[in-house]
Structure 1
Amino acid sequence: MEPWPKEGNVRRHLKSKERTSVYNVLRSIYEDSLLVQEVSDLLPRVPVLANLRCGAWYHAKYDGDCYFKSTDGHCNHWQFSFTRLNAHVARTAAECGGVLLIDSTKSSVKRTPDSFSRTVPIWCCVVNRALGLVMKAEEAEEEEERPPQWDDALHLPSWVSDMEASEIEKRLEGWSQKLASTQRSLLLELSGKLRRPLRALWLSEESLIWDQVTVEDREGFPFTPVYLLACSKFGEYPRTSSEKFCDFSWRYLRGAADDHESWAEGLTPKIFWSHHEVLLRTDPEDIDQVVEDLVKAEGLQYGAGFAGKRLSQRISSCSAGGTGISWIGNLGIGICSAKALSSLDAETKAGAACLNCSTSTRLEDLEPVKHIEVLPHKFDRFSLQNALEEATAFISKNAREGRRLVVTCDDGQDISPAVVAAYLLLFGVSTSASREECQGSANRSTGGKYTKEDVRSAVSCVTQYCPAAHPSRGSIKQVYNFLIRTGT
């Protein structure tokens, strides 16, 4: 007779089962989405952006998205990412007088995810300081219109200790100097739009004063607010707000959308919000089958990926990637997902070439077309590296001929931005160059002496124009290895 399992093991098993119950997850996401809708209604004309990947689930209609990683805010591992500049967030905040970012955390001890507690405040401070450095160097006349004291201090939430803040402060000057030296054109552009420094403000279900904040109040702020809404509730049995979908019992999960690889089975935020009424009225015992049917109806894979391996489902960008094309400066080079090709209008397709790096051989009516299949880094560590010589040569050929070019991959976020970054470095092309200058660039300008910093700077130049671009570390590493091999 087998011994009874220990009580602690049983509890862990039951808790894990609750955590991966699709119905519990989706019902918790819907519950948290009500707070997102409430806050967005209280902040009219403030764009709402999802912080990928978790935040993408909590609202039906985002104005866009961003990518501030929690790992960049982990204690003793603080970072300012130069490959994910989120320049579009600063532009949007400047143009609209503020921006609202959405994220969540499943931690029972943290009020907000580290992306909001540290990563975003660090980002605000570094951008503010780099702007100050560039404007001081330029001695621009517009500087007189700014507040007498341009606030470039580090503003962290009250729950971050003074000791930790002091350690972060030691790193800020180096990041600011580096940003000012590597992204001067971007900062000069922002200086004409951002009249007040960026500053994070934290919101949650415990916030009490925000229903009193009017548009006029916000206009009186001496800063441009970056609202950070951690939308999850506190406690295991919080008070719920929804009177809908009460047909079945369920348990609330804090930060339910996090780690979607463990529960989504191919379900995406878009599919969920298109069918949430059906899903949340489905018996929890039957919901797995309903999810499978919806996923397959969208032409997606349910639960498995290449060679039967479990897919780490990538959450597509809400603002680009799946629905549109992002043109890189004036180069005539665009980035999009392979799926988005079918939605391009005839005028865009006319006279445009296509470099298809996706795993699909389906090609739209663009001529000429070159298909070079590139697998994600997790399935082939050298696929991109081996394809870059042929891919960059094809881009260069079309650039010299003055032809517009669309570079695609499966999601428009990883491979295609990395390919364009490799081309920019290999042929010494600047994103601020004109079509004519790009057309005349046929020789390498760096003599093959590339550094990892060069690659990161090139990627950040691409992401300025393509907010959906999030090349993986593996892809960036392959670009660097290719450039080193080419220069030897």
Structure 2
Amino acid sequence: MMSQPLSEADIIFPHLSNTPNLSSTLSSLRRSTLSIHNRLSSIVFDSAFVTSVAEAYAFPLVANERCGSWYIPLSLKSESVYFKSTDGHMGEWKFSLRRLNLQLLDVVEKWGGAVIVDSTRRGKSVPDALSKTVPIWCCVINRAVFGEKHDLFTWPQAVGESEHAQIERRIGGFVRQFLDICKPNIPHLRAKLQKPLRPIWVTQQSSLPNSPPLFSDFHPIVLCTASRRVRGAEGSENGYIQGAADDHEAWAQGLTPTLFWQNKNILTNASEEEAPGIIERLIAEKDGDHATATLIKPTNRLYISSSHSVDPRGFDLVISCTAESFPQSLLKDANVQHYLHLKCQTGKLGSRDLRSRLPHLLAIFTSFPLSEHSRVLFCCPTGKDLSVGTLLAILCLYVDEDGTLNIGKRRESKDIGKVFIKQRLSWITTSNPALNPSRATLQSVNAVLLESENPKAHLQTNKLSNDKPTFPTSIAVRDTKPISHEPTSTNNDRSPSLPTSIFHNLATPSSSDRRWLFTRTLRSSLPTHPSGSVIGTATFTPCSFPSPSPSLSDTATSPSTMQQALLYAEEGKFVTHTGLQFTARRKYMYLLKRDVNSAAEAEAKPKRHIAVHFFDDDKMPGSSILEGVGKDSAGVGGLFVEMDTLEESREDVLFLSGNDE
């Protein structure tokens, strides 16, 4: 029997959704080529070339971050620099005043030269950082140190004559900016350099010398492009990827150059399916390491660090710009004497928070009893953003030109400008080029230092008269709470402590109905911000927390006649020196806290102190006193100040008195 001929209806075509088109097929092939395994294998291959360059010239390897470190084994890396390719883009040529990279001169002084390692992705033989940014830097340093006679050297294969001429016309301006803004110590730099700097370019297509050459006329800066150029598609190179380490945030899954070289064999031998799990495990094991603090030179007392796995041992004052405060147990175990928490979120929101927190820090910073040997640590989640902004403000206001911290003499506003702030920022970036704050953070610092009124002004109070003392509506900065390291007393005396008595008296109905009179003088050094005086009344209203937040979990449980918190609210009339009148209002939260380390201490007599928090107007805008702190304590903001254990015998005891209306 003959079979029937096939018709079109008998043919089964696959659905279009199951049939990959050419574009999706090529994308899939490209993803498989750009796998983690291929990237790490390409990095290892290129690293062998980088090592051969170092041996050929007998110079140490310096990584141009962040890409360069991937190509240098840990034992061969001598330093890091930060030369951005964007500073070498056509028409955007720049000498960075934020990242001076002067640490490279220390390497040159010791070895006579250096090999800077970087790479670039497919399409170029040499990254712009090596073809233009570093040559610009070399020329600026040469002219600043040795004079105007030194020429600009660029790589002819990457920079045309026209572009070279345009760059050279800008060098003079770069030199003036470097000298005028950064104010480098030229004799100190001259002592490091016996000869001018000159760039030399090396790629995998270059011929390397058989023996280390001698350079009698200049210090060579060998600019090594680690990867060889790929002219076709990645798939045509049998898995090799040009510039495999570039843009590692997109592919490394948290892996760092240090972690890679510490576990190179494990990672390069892992399959593509195994790699993510291995990387996750290695990162988890590394998280137990302590963060390393960086000393900001020329100071010898100010340090900066990430708050993650921070080690506060050896520091007398710790200032953290974090969402949550450090555990008190951590600070006590580290023997930290003083701690200040500036509550800040992360990212741009944190930069905005910093703008409102900095004035309070600057107002109380001088209250910390720091000796000439005290060390101060600034922390934030990354150790590179909010903490840098906070430290920058302190450098501008309280640090002399030689790096001496002088908290007894605040620099006047007229002496602080954008150029001065850039100078102080260069101290930070020179100490560690990785400390590069965001634009939003720098704007917050500028706003506080250049635009806002004296941050101490709104904390000052005066008495109405000598015979009518008033309750000080600000907190005496000398009462900032140091962390106690003394064992809790076992005295069985049940008489209430002075903080408890103060809190109890303010919380009683007869006192809470009382209005306190206050007057405050505001003085602004800026003509755009008014000066004047505020006269008004303030109240203390008992509050309770429907659901205490974790940060307030140590608030003392009060007797029936004592509340957990007091809402301080004031309202007054602000009269400017020109006669204008405004209504001024503010709120704070007063909390009675106790320091209890064990049940035995609680049974004895736990020490108590009063903590004052900002009122969070952003979460409770326009709220009345009767609303208290709102649901779930939403109105309780960050910590403003803590008053240490008050003793009746002390001369600086906080007295409370007032007048009934």
Question: TM class by shorter-chain length?
Answer: 0.7 to 0.9
SS in 2 for 1:289: helix
How has the CA–CA distance of structure 1 residues 380 and 413 changed in structure 2, closer, same or farther, with 3 Å as cutoff? closer
How has the CA–CA distance of structure 1 residues 72 and 481 changed in structure 2, closer, same or farther, with 3 Å as cutoff? same
Contact 1:425-1:455 within 8 A present in 2 as well: yes
In the alignment, what sits opposite 1:473?
Answer: 439
In the alignment, what sits opposite 1:303?
Answer: none
The residue correspondences of 1:185-334 to structure 2 (distance < 5 A) are 185-214=184-213, 217-218=214-215, 220=216, 222-235=217-230, 251-299=239-287, 322-334=291-303
SS in 1 for 2:452: helix
Paired residue type of 2:248? H
Distance 1:121 1:393 in 2: 45
Paired residue type of 1:35? F
Match status 1:26 vs 2:40: yes
Distance 1:465 1:477 in 2: 22
Contact 1:24-1:250 within 8 A present in 2 as well: no
Distance 2:67 2:346 in 1: 21
Match status 1:459 vs 2:457: no
Distance 1:430 1:102 in 2: 37
Match status 1:72 vs 2:72: no
Larger radius of gyration: 2
Contact 2:181-2:423 within 8 A present in 1 as well: yes
Offset of residue 420 of structure 1? 1.8
Offset of residue 202 of structure 1? 1.2
RMSD: 2.9
In the alignment, what sits opposite 1:155?
Answer: 153
The residue correspondences of 1:108-147 to structure 2 (distance < 5 A) are 108=123, 110-132=124-146
**Which one of the candidate residues 63, 67, 71 is aligned to 2:78?**
63
Contact 2:229-2:242 within 8 A present in 1 as well: yes
Distance 1:230 1:151 in 2: 29
Distance 2:250 2:191 in 1: 45
Offset of residue 107 of structure 1? 2.8
Contact 2:57-2:211 within 8 A present in 1 as well: no
In the alignment, what sits opposite 1:14?
Answer: 29
In the alignment, what sits opposite 2:462?
Answer: none
In the alignment, what sits opposite 2:402?
Answer: 432
**Which one of the candidate residues 67, 81, 91 is aligned to 1:54?**
67
Distance 1:336 1:396 in 2: 22
Distance 1:477 1:165 in 2: 34
In the alignment, what sits opposite 1:170?
Answer: 169
1:327-370, Cα deviation, whole Å (9 max, x unpaired): 4213521223335753x8x6xx1x63222235673545122122
Match status 1:2 vs 2:1: no
Extract unaligned runs of 5+ from structure 1.
134-149, 239-248, 301-320
Contact 1:412-1:468 within 8 A present in 2 as well: no
Offset of residue 252 of structure 1? 0.9
Distance 1:394 1:89 in 2: 38
How has the CA–CA distance of structure 1 residues 6 and 426 changed in structure 2, closer, same or farther, with 3 Å as cutoff? farther
Offset of residue 469 of structure 1? 2.1
TM-score normalised to structure 1 length: 0.79
SS in 1 for 2:200: strand
**Which one of the candidate residues 372, 394, 400 is aligned to 2:342?**
372
SS in 1 for 2:210: helix
Contact 2:61-2:79 within 8 A present in 1 as well: yes
1:175-230, Cα deviation, whole Å (9 max, x unpaired): 1011112233433320222121122111121221333324xx13x2x111212111
SS in 2 for 1:418: helix
Distance 1:430 1:467 in 2: 22
Extract unaligned runs of 5+ from structure 2.
1-14, 454-528, 530-661
Contact 1:23-1:250 within 8 A present in 2 as well: no
Paired residue type of 1:224? H
Offset of residue 385 of structure 1? 2.5
Contact 1:104-1:255 within 8 A present in 2 as well: yes
How has the CA–CA distance of structure 1 residues 398 and 331 changed in structure 2, closer, same or farther, with 3 Å as cutoff? farther
Paired residue type of 1:280? T
Match status 1:486 vs 2:452: yes
SS in 2 for 1:212: coil
Offset of residue 387 of structure 1? 3.1
Offset of residue 390 of structure 1? 3.6
- Which has a greater percent of strand? 2
How has the CA–CA distance of structure 1 residues 486 and 167 changed in structure 2, closer, same or farther, with 3 Å as cutoff? same
Distance 2:423 2:42 in 1: 39
Contact 2:181-2:420 within 8 A present in 1 as well: no
1:421-449, Cα deviation, whole Å (9 max, x unpaired): 2222234x3442435xx24422x323386
Greater alpha carbon shift after TM alignment, 82-91 vs 288-297: 288-297
**Which one of the candidate residues 422, 434, 441 is aligned to 2:409?**
441
Offset of residue 277 of structure 1? 0.6
Offset of residue 98 of structure 1? 1.2
In the alignment, what sits opposite 1:419?
Answer: 390
In the alignment, what sits opposite 1:410?
Answer: 381
Distance 1:129 1:376 in 2: 41
Match status 1:83 vs 2:98: yes
Instruction: Identify which of structures 1 and 2 has the higher relative contact order when contacts are C-alpha pairs closer than 8 Å and 6+ apart.
Output: 1
**Which one of the candidate residues 335, 352, 372 is aligned to 1:382?**
352
Offset of residue 266 of structure 1? 1.2
Contact 1:200-1:228 within 8 A present in 2 as well: yes
Contact 1:94-1:224 within 8 A present in 2 as well: no
SS in 2 for 1:63: strand
Contact 2:53-2:208 within 8 A present in 1 as well: no
How has the CA–CA distance of structure 1 residues 69 and 371 changed in structure 2, closer, same or farther, with 3 Å as cutoff? same
Offset of residue 36 of structure 1? 1.9
Contact 1:107-1:254 within 8 A present in 2 as well: yes
Distance 2:259 2:162 in 1: 44
TM-score normalised to structure 2 length: 0.59
**Which one of the candidate residues 280, 287, 307 is aligned to 1:338?**
307
In the alignment, what sits opposite 1:353?
Answer: 317
Match status 1:95 vs 2:110: yes
How has the CA–CA distance of structure 1 residues 153 and 431 changed in structure 2, closer, same or farther, with 3 Å as cutoff? same
Greater alpha carbon shift after TM alignment, 180-189 vs 168-177: 180-189
Sequence identity (%): 29
Paired residue type of 2:444? Q
Paired residue type of 1:325? T
- Which has a greater percent of helix? 1
Distance 1:41 1:100 in 2: 10
- Alignment: residue pair count: 425
Offset of residue 78 of structure 1? 1.1
Offset of residue 250 of structure 1? 6.3
Distance 1:358 1:186 in 2: 36
Paired residue type of 1:156? T
Greater alpha carbon shift after TM alignment, 375-384 vs 286-295: 375-384
Distance 2:323 2:118 in 1: 31
Paired residue type of 2:192? K
Paired residue type of 2:25? V
Paired residue type of 1:60? P
SS in 1 for 2:144: helix
How has the CA–CA distance of structure 1 residues 227 and 378 changed in structure 2, closer, same or farther, with 3 Å as cutoff? farther
Paired residue type of 1:231? A
